[in-house]
A and B are shown apart, each in its own frame.
Chain A
């Protein structure tokens, strides 16, 4: 396993469309639920233990496969009640495939797989294991909105990165758990949800002017 390859895959500068998604933060900011660093800390922790937990499990599962990702893809559909969030996940999966195809030799994944499925398949193609795929997935679910918060609210970037550093041990734990469950049936994988993220995403999708795609 190459640590440097993991850094390439998890780099926020990877041209895979992530910069245009706020992970629900833009909607939460507009609703007045996230106004400062303290609010953001709660938002990120909640996101890590819902979206992050599910994404890590499915990225690890996809990484452990050699082909046929359809049941994982359907499993994520079932865990994503918001149509806007399903579209956002598939758009980011498609963008990640575009980046991945330029770097590694990928299996057949369809045109728009869910993002965690694409991420797991990319990790495998890069020679990484399920744990690394899960780390990248869980980290991505919080680093994206953290960056969006710096841009939307003008928060102190050092304070925001301090939040991410404090979440790192939890990300590692979540990734280790995900990597231990790659043989579980898809139906048994985590299904944690965040109704406010779902509702916020649906409202956000109706806005006439928005800065982030989701």
Chain B
């Protein structure tokens, strides 16, 4: 365990590792409250496209809804409606007052209200996806809002992103490195990203994704399916 920032060699930025001897996860909430998964990441990394893919993959098998914190336009809604097979009443938008990270971390009240309103309107849900507004590498979700979080980066943002770290890359329960189909075009080395992600994240999982090639985001959908299946059944 190396909780304090340190370096291994002259080529590395200071970093820290999670304690491998401690399970970093709180127990999953018991049904019937929906499992809440936060999806964060920098602007343009593909969060909305991933949400659409997950709705497409999981919409038929799970009772799900989406809360979005992005600057939300009719195009975004149309994008989800057209691509995600998700009816409009299952999507809520939250305004963030120019501070997307505040709404998911420091003051989560509007997001909690949105989740509760969805559950009140739609009945018990199994899964709520909370999509953050596009922010930066330091944005993470409060544990008061979500149960697990996914951080999405893309290869076009530069293959140095995993090495730069930040709480999203380092501590997210799942790191998604998106748009791998662009890697040859932008000169990104996926092996470097994989190695750096492992160094940053210890045992926490990382998946590579190309929504062009995998429209159902299979590795992410499977990760979510396992979480839903692992929930404590209602007494």
Q: How many A-B residue pairs have CB under 8 A?
A: 66
Please state if B107 and A213 are interface contacts (CB–CB under 8 Å). no
| Smallest CB gap from B98: residue in A | A151
B223 close to A (CB within 8 Å): no
Query: In the complex the two chains form, is B106's CB within 8 Å of A15's CB?
Result: yes
- The contact of B110 among A20, A99, A152, by CB within 8 Å, is A20
CA gap between A78 and B112 in the complex, in Å: 29
Are A212 and B110 closer than 8 Å at their CB atoms?
no
A95 to chain B: which residues have CB within 8 Å? 109-110, 113
Closest Cβ of chain A to B112, distance in Å, is: 7
Residue from A94, A99, A211 whose CB has the most chain B CB atoms within 10 Å: A211
Assess A20 versus B106: contact at CB under 8 Å? Given A91-B113, A94-B113, A209-B72: no
List residues 22-71 of chain A with CB under 8 A from any CB of chain B: 22
Selected from A22, A98, A209, the residue in CB contact (under 8 A) with B112 is A98
> Known: A20-B103, A209-B73. Contact between A151 and B110, CB under 8 A?
no
Would A19 and B107 count as touching, CB distance under 8 A? yes
Task: Count A-side interface residues using an 8 Å CB cutoff.
Answer: 24
Given contacts A15-B108, A17-B109, A95-B110, contact A209 B71 (CB under 8 A): yes
Partner of B74, one of A21, A208, A210: A208
How far apart sit A78 and B59, CA to CA, in the bound complex (Å)? 44
A91 to B113, CA, bound (A): 9
Q: Is B95 on the interface with A (CB-CB < 8 A)? A: yes
A124 to chain B, nearest CB (A): 21
B94 at interface, CB cutoff 8 A: yes
The digit string for B126-143, where 1 denotes a CB below 8 A from any CB of A, is 000000000000000000
Please give, as numbers and ranges, the residues of chain B lying within 8 Å of A22 by CB-CB distance: 97
Contact between A151 and B106, CB atoms less than 8 A apart? no
Q: Does A16 contact B (CB under 8 A)?
A: yes
Bound form: Cα–Cα A109–B97 in Å = 27
B28 within 8 A of A: no
CB distance from A89 to the nearest CB of B (A): 14
A95 to B103, CA, bound (A): 12
Q: B215 to chain A: closest CB distance in Å?
A: 28
Say yes or no: is B96 at the interface (Cβ < 8 Å to chain A).
Answer: yes
* Known contacts A91-B113, A209-B71; A16/B95 CB under 8 A: no
Complex formed: what's the CA distance from A15 to B142 in Å?
A: 12
Q: Would A212 and B97 count as touching, CB distance under 8 A? A: yes
Q: Is the CB of B73 within 8 A of A211?
A: no
A18, B107: Cα distance in complex, Å? 9
A210 to B73, CA, bound (A): 9
**Does B30 have its Cβ within 8 Å of any Cβ on chain A?**
no
Q: A15-B108, A98-B109, A98-B112 in contact; A20/B71 too (CB < 8 A)?
A: no
Bound complex: CA A208 to CA B76 (Å): 11
Taking the complex as formed, is B99 at the interface, i.e. its CB lies under 8 A from any CB of chain A? yes
Q: Is A138 an interface residue (CB 8 A)?
A: no
B102 at the interface (CB under 8 A from A): yes
A99 touches B71 (CB 8 A): no
Chain A residues, Cβ within 8 Å of B96: 19-20, 211
Q: Which residues of A contact B110 (CB under 8 A)?
A: 17, 20, 91, 95, 213
Beta-carbon contact of A13 and B106 below 8 Å: yes
User: In whole angstroms, what is the CA distance A78 to B62 when docked?
Assistant: 44
Decide: B108 and A20 in contact? CB cutoff 8 A: no
Provide the residues of chain A in CB contact with B113, threshold 8 Å: 17, 91, 94-95, 98
Is A151 within 8 A of B97, CB to CB? yes
- 7 A-B pairs, CB-CB below 8 angstroms? A15-B109, A19-B97, A20-B99, A91-B110, A95-B109, A209-B72, A212-B97
Beyond A98-B109, A148-B98, 18 additional contacts (C-beta under 8 Å) are A13-B107, A15-B106, A17-B110, A19-B96, A19-B97, A19-B102, A19-B106, A20-B95, A20-B97, A20-B103, A95-B109, A99-B109, A210-B95, A211-B71, A212-B98, A213-B94, A213-B95, A213-B110
Which A residues are closer than 8 A to B by beta carbons? 13-22, 91, 94-95, 98-99, 148, 151-152, 208-213
The list of the 8 closest CB pairs from A to B, nearest first, reads A95-B109, A20-B97, A15-B107, A151-B98, A213-B95, A17-B109, A212-B97, A19-B97
